[in-house]
């Protein structure tokens, strides 16, 4: 059976490359090639820039309310096609249908809707200076690049294009080479909704295509989601043309469970924050610090629920709640971390092996894995694993656990479970992380800014402030009287 070949999406339509080079995309749950994608060669790259220039001219000339109206149409189409798009995400990522069906498209659409609503409300300032005055205009940046990771492909494309387009920019988006289809679907939807051709372009490929975007002098900004190491390369390359950057990078986030917490709720949060999307979520609370008074209760319930309530298998089966990891290589990396955890002296409470469920025997599954007896200096406690692997640690003292939680170069997220309202806020205010939850974990509504402290990121996505990251301020001074000149 021949598989489809997808071309790059430039200037409102698919465009064939000249080299004929393609790459294959596999379904992580079956290990089968499901389609091929053409790589953006020089011809495509040049066409993308020309297309985005034209798109920008047309789009930025529209009023914010006209842009808003069109984007809201795209939101409606995204919602109408929820199931079709969710299926694309399941086949590309290996994540469970029960998640994609209610989260991936929905949270992407929400963000475009949010920024479509905000765009017409963005205003400049004006101020009198004597008889003269100045005013400011919020102008778009021009062409913005988006570079995506593979865990939430369509959602990432929406989160980057929503504020960029609402503010009047054109976008060239490069999805991860592991999951390239969602962004193409979004590009088609934008065209159907009435976004002018050239405003949202999709180029395909791996690091080389990303490098071209970060170095290209016609591009004013790069919004990147991916690993810390790649983020550093992207930022260094963007510095060559002084591009603005947004960096959404990795994490190794702590969850602190105090002895007055609702332990069952804390177990729910720990499981959500380690096993949802088979652990491939940047904000996951992979370091769980549990107070010694509730430690035994916590790990007993965690073990029981992990062993009884998780169903791995064909991700399209609505009963399945643990999908396949993105690739064989990533599965091996995660299993390598588990081996290292055992070698360094942590104890496996549950899990620890590759899985081969009957309904998806060739998929890249890893058992939901919990380590106990963990120490702060173990590799599994220090490094991002990006799989279903949780490390549980014990604590006794509030100040001490805050210091341990902060002892990392990462700072994406953090959480606290306690019924003491003052302790909840006191502790969370001291945790060095950009996204924090109290008696909750993982929710990320469009209204709430998200991004990392320390090496987990720069800038924010979502929330009102993000619109500012996609505009630049022009100050205009207006003279109302004769110029006094010594010349």
Active site residues: 248
Q: State yes or no: residue 153 binds ligand NAD (CB under 6 A).
A: no
**Residue with Cβ nearer ligand NAD (350 or 456):** 456
What residues contact residue 217 under an 8 Å CB cut-off, 6+ apart? 241
What residues contact residue 264 under an 8 Å CB cut-off, 6+ apart? 301
**Residue with Cβ nearer ligand NAD (249 or 299):** 249
Q: State yes or no: residue 457 binds ligand NAD (CB under 6 A).
A: yes
Binding map of ligand NAD across residues 128-147, x = CB under 6 A, - = no contact: -------------------x
Inter-CA distances, 264 with 293, 393, 417, 440, Å: 14, 17, 11, 12
What residues contact residue 78 under an 8 Å CB cut-off, 6+ apart? 85, 105, 108, 109, 112, 158, 186, 189
Taking the complex as a whole, the smallest distance from the CB of residue 470 to ligand NAD amounts, in Å, to: 17
Q: In the window 161-190, what residues touch ligand NAD (CB under 6 A)?
A: 174, 176-177
Binding map of ligand NAD across residues 215-244, x = CB under 6 A, - = no contact: ----------xxx--x--xx----------
Which residues are registered as beta bridge partners of 348?
A: 371
Q: State yes or no: residue 305 binds ligand NAD (CB under 6 A).
A: no
**Residue with Cβ nearer ligand NAD (176 or 278):** 176
**Residue with Cβ nearer ligand NAD (204 or 369):** 204
Residue from 109, 118, 149, 424 binding ligand NAD (CB under 6 A): 149
Taking the complex as a whole, the smallest distance from the CB of residue 19 to ligand NAD amounts, in Å, to: 18
What residues contact residue 89 under an 8 Å CB cut-off, 6+ apart? 95, 100, 104, 105, 152, 153, 154, 179, 182
Candidates 130-138, 249-257, 363-371, 478-486: pick the segment binding ligand NAD (CB under 6 A): 249-257
Q: Give residue number: closest CB to ligand NAD.
A: 210
Binding map of ligand NAD across residues 364-403, x = CB under 6 A, - = no contact: --------------------x-x-----------------
Number of residues that bind ligand NAD (CB under 6 A): 29
Q: State yes or no: residue 321 binds ligand NAD (CB under 6 A).
A: no
Residues that bind ligand NAD (CB under 6 A): 147-151, 174, 176-177, 206-207, 210-211, 214, 225-227, 230, 233-234, 248-251, 282, 384, 386, 412, 452, 457
């Amino acid at each position: 059976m021949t598989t489809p070949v997808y071309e790059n999406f430039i200037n409102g339509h698919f465009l064939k490359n000249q080299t004929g080079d393609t790459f294959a995309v596999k379904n992580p749950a079956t290990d089968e090639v499901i389609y091929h994608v053409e790589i953006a060669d020089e011809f495509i790259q040049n066409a993308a820039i020309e297309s985005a220039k034209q798109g920008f001219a047309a789009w930025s000339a529209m009023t914010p309310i006209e842009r808003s109206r069109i984007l809201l149409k795209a939101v409606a189409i995204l919602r109408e096609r929820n199931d079709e798009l969710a299926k694309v995400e399941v086949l590309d990522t290996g994540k469970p249908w029960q998640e994609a069906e209610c989260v991936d498209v929905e949270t992407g659409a929400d963000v475009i809707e949010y920024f479509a609503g905000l765009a017409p409300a963005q205003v400049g300032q004006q101020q009198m200076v004597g008889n003269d005055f100045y005013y400011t205009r919020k102008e778009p940046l021009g062409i913005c690049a988006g570079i995506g990771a593979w865990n939430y492909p369509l959602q990432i494309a929406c989160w980057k294009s929503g504020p960029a387009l609402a503010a009047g920019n054109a976008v060239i988006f490069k999805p991860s080479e592991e999951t390239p289809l969602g962004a193409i679907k979004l590009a088609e939807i934008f065209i159907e909704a009435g976004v002018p051709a050239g405003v949202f372009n999709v180029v395909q490929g791996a690091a080389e295509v990303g490098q071209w975007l970060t170095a290209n002098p016609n591009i004013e900004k790069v919004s990147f989601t991916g690993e810390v190491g790649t983020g550093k390369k992207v930022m260094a390359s963007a510095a060559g043309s002084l591009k603005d950057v947004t960096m959404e990078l990795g994490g190794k986030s702590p969850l602190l469970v105090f002895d007055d917490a609702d332990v069952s709720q804390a177990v729910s949060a720990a499981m959500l924050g380690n096993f949802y999307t088979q652990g491939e979520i940047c904000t996951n609370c992979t370091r769980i610090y549990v107070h010694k008074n509730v430690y035994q209760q916590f790990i007993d319930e965690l073990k029981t629920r992990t062993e009884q309530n998780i169903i791995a298998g064909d991700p399209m089966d609505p009963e399945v709640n643990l999908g396949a990891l993105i690739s064989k290589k990533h599965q091996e990396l995660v299993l390598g971390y588990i081996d290292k955890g055992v070698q360094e002296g942590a104890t496996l409470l549950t899990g620890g092996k590759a899985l081969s469920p009957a309904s998806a025997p060739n998929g890249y599954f890893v058992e939901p894995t919990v380590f106990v007896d963990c120490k702060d200096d173990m590799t599994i406690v220090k490094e991002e694993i990006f799989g279903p692997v949780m490390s549980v640690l014990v604590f006794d003292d509030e100040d001490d656990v805050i210091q341990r939680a902060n002892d990392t170069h990462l700072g994406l997220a953090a959480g606290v479970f306690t019924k003491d309202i003052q302790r909840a806020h006191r502790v969370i205010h001291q945790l060095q992380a950009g996204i924090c939850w109290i008696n909750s974990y993982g929710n990320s509504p469009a209204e709430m800014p998200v991004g990392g402290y320390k090496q987990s990121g720069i800038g924010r996505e979502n929330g009102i402030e993000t619109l500012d990251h996609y505009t630049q301020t022009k100050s205009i001074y207006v003279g109302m009287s004769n110029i006094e000149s010594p010349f």
